[in-house]
Amino acid sequence: MASRSSIGFIGLGVMGEPICRNLVWKSGTRVIAFDLAAEPLARLEAEGAGVATSVADLVRKCQKVLAGSMRRLRARGRYRGRSRTAA
């Protein structure tokens, strides 16, 4: 069930990770993050962010979701549950 006090953040690239970190530090709200790369998730988890296992998991846990660049998700077919890459 989505929590009204949680913000979800998808896409922890060059801009997304610092934006998410700022939310963790300054929002006063639980922030749950998702990215395909484990490294930024580990860094943010160490700073107090929650970690989702998938976009669907994040959406279930949060009422509000923000997204940085989702290029990696689209390239790997994880966005909207279908592949967008050419064979």
| pLDDT tens-digit readout, 60-78 | 999 899 988 766 555 555 5
Residues lower than pLDDT 50 in the chain: 82-87
Collapsing DSSP to helix, strand or coil, 37 comes out as: coil
User: Which superfamily does 3-75 belong to?
Assistant: NAD(P)-binding Rossmann-like Domain (3.40.50.720)
**16 phi, psi to nearest 5 deg:** -65, -40
pTM, full prediction: 0.76
CA distance 33 to 43: 11
Q: What is the pLDDT of residue 68?
A: 80
Collapsing DSSP to helix, strand or coil, 11 comes out as: coil
